[in-house]
């Protein structure tokens, strides 16, 4: 029963994010939440340089950095389309995987950016303690290059 509730909460928080409100996802985060965004791109280097190793590298730490991450999604107009949500484990050691698409619709209805990703959440008693994103980081880096080329110096 709680797995269906978790799926509904994730869907609702992403729907709110799509509407320009990241607050529900931020409220679900633990105070010391960790976000891991792979690759060497403007998303992974928002707060510190990337360290490449076999160990996961935390790119965002705490509520304020998580809020900055969510606010940037809203500012860039990124939308999310969920394909699947998998929930496993008890409430004190829950893992959630969300497979989805992210995209920015253009004025002509065609995407100016799109990607596929899996977000892997670690949740303890309803609080997100860690979120790791797996997506095509080459597409992210290409988006960064296109943005830099169109931004006046």
Residue 109 belongs to a domain with what CATH number? 3.10.450.50
What pLDDT, on a 0 to 100 scale, did the predictor assign at position 131?
A: 97
Domain that residue 81 falls in: 2-150
**Cα(34)–Cα(143) distance, integer angstroms:** 24
Place of tokens 């403007």: 42
Tally of structural domains, the chain:
1
What pLDDT, on a 0 to 100 scale, did the predictor assign at position 153?
A: 63
What pLDDT, on a 0 to 100 scale, did the predictor assign at position 91?
A: 94
What pLDDT, on a 0 to 100 scale, did the predictor assign at position 147?
A: 85
DSSP state of 42: T
Which mean pLDDT values do the consecutive 10-residue runs of the chain (153 residues) have? 90 96 93 93 90 90 95 94 97 97 95 96 96 92 87 69
- Strands of 94-105's sheet, edge to edge? 60-61, 29-37, 127-135, 111-124, 94-105, 79-88
Cβ neighbours of residue 35 under 8 Å, at least 6 residues apart? 58, 59, 60, 61, 65, 66, 69, 130, 131, 132, 133
């Amino acid at each position: 029963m709680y797995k269906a509730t978790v799926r509904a909460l994730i869907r609702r928080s992403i729907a709110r994010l799509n509407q320009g409100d990241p607050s529900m996802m931020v409220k679900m985060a633990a105070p010391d939440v960790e976000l891991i965004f792979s690759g060497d791109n403007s998303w992974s280097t928002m707060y510190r340089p990337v360290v490449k190793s076999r160990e996961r590298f935390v790119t965002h730490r705490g509520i304020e950095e998580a809020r900055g991450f969510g606010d940037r999604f809203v500012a860039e107009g990124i939308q999310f389309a969920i394909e699947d949500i998998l929930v496993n484990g008890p409430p004190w050691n829950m893992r959630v995987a969300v497979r989805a698409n992210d995209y920015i619709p253009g004025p002509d209805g065609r995407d100016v950016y799109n990607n596929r990703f899996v977000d892997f959440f670690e949740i303890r008693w309803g609080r997100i303690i860690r979120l790791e994103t797996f997506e095509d980081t080459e597409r992210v880096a290409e988006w960064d290059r296109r943005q830099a080329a169109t931004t006046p110096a």
